[in-house]
Structure 1
């Protein structure tokens, strides 16, 4: 346990993905035993997509009523639908296409082939969230970049400090592609459970800084109302 949440360490990235997948599925089972629907926010990245693939292949997946699960994203690259950079396409291939999830339960962020501007895509996603009752996300998963960014909230970037909205348009992302849609920090903090998933030696320095509360890093500022977990491999916490 740190001042910035509980830390769970796994041996390597593969073990992290498998364990996080099991944790996600169990969280959905528990949530649906207490309420009629569950809202989960997915993340991309190597470990994030490996987690989704492990979840799809788990025997636990068959114990979930997927018609009661709604799937969202923390951020998305504003590129055409079908582009390999799209988080939702990777998630579709890794997990969503293998599960009996109704299409209307999959809340994809807008693509540049569907919206003239990223602002329009961000507004549409905010409208989608509002139309579903502005869910207090049951599980919100975040990957973390080597610079300490989460979703598309980057250190020193104006999006990190954005207030008064659930969704923002991001221009000039330090990591390509430069134009994105992202949940805001305010929206992320509405989640019941926030899980930051990180693996690899390249994340070691920023993991240590974030866990020690360095608020220059967006990863240090995220938290859940009921649970904040850092799900990491041994290399990612080598400098903690």
Structure 2
């Protein structure tokens, strides 16, 4: 098993979203040729949502047997179920409500209006993750985990210089002091994210260039959380030219 870290640069945000969508469809078909099901972890944000929209609009979309794909989330804002800021709501609008994926294959975090508190919601999601794991394993096999990256280098809801970023004894965190609104969130921990077979980080814009450059230069994972992310097989940074401004030329892959 190889473990590769690559940077793939695309001309602009639109090209980036289309390219990631095409690779996702191809890779998911390959995964389903090799195993009974595929498990995908979704992210939120503008670029993450654009990728899902590009998957929805792709003429190759229905090459995927969506009945055999399970969807989870890397993090979620602690807001009501139908709040437009909720990552689940954005993913459903962009893709999930437009494909033939069974309801039981969609695994969202609880919402703030579902009658439980934040800590209980974290415990519930952790239990659901454990229940989905193969016999004798602590976690499911996450085949592809999508992540966005903040200008400060945060991923999921793991923020710089926050003790929760170093949490390694739990699967899910109840975040109560996010520096970005809303302050309350739910997030997978770094060890769970790093258990993924493939981590695909998708980022665009000049404000992301510094965080990406620091991550690839070996910055502290506590100060730049994205620096501590690495999938079991591959870690791929899909970026546009503006985000790649501080990436050394030797780290940019000509193809993948």
TM-score (norm 2): 0.91
Asked if 1 retains the 8 angstrom alpha-carbon contact of 2:4 and 2:234, the reply is no
- Residue 232 of structure 1 corresponds to which residue in structure 2? 239
Aligned to 2:161, which of 145, 156, 159? 156
Cα root mean square deviation, aligned:
1.2
- Where does residue 75 of structure 1 map in the other structure? 75
C-alpha separation in 2, matches of 1:130 and 1:214: 32
Moved more, 102-111 or 126-135: 126-135
Q: Spell out structure 1 runs of 4+ moving beyond 4 A.
A: none
Q: Is the 8 A contact 2:71 2:107 kept in 1?
A: yes
Which residue does the alignment assign to 2:204? Answer: 199
- Report the counterpart of residue 26 of structure 2 in structure 1: 26
- Preserved CA contact (<8 Å) 1:17 1:50: yes
TM-superposed CA distance for 1:213, in Å, is 1.5
The 8 Å contact of residues 9 and 238 in structure 2, kept in 1 or not, is answered as yes
- Preserved contact between residue 159 and residue 165 of structure 2 (Cα < 8 Å): yes
- Matching residue of 2:129: 129
What's the CA shift for 1:190? Answer: 0.4
Paired position in structure 1 for 2:251: none
Query: 1:117 offset after TM fit, Å?
Result: 1.4
1:85 matched to which residue of 2? Answer: 85
Matched position secondary structure for 1:126: helix
Structure 1: gaps spanning 5 or more residues: none
Q: CA deviation at 1:211?
A: 1.1
1:48 equivalent to 2:48? Answer yes
Q: What's the offset of the Cα at 1:115?
A: 3.9
| 1:109-143 alpha-carbon deviations (Å, 9 max, x no partner) | 11011143111111111111111112121000100
The answer to whether the Cα contact below 8 Å between 1:7 and 1:229 also exists between their aligned partners in 2 is: yes
Structure 2 unaligned blocks of 5 or more: 134-138, 248-256
Match for residue 171 of structure 1?
A: 176
How does the TM-score come out when normalised to structure 1? 0.97
- Contact 1:4/1:212 (8 A) holds in 2: no
SS in 1 for 2:243: helix
The number of residue pairs the alignment matches comes to 238
- Native 8 Å contact 1:4 1:211 kept in 2: no
Provide Cα deviations, 1:165-218, integer angstroms capped at 9, x if missing partner.
111100110110000000000000100000111100011111110111112211
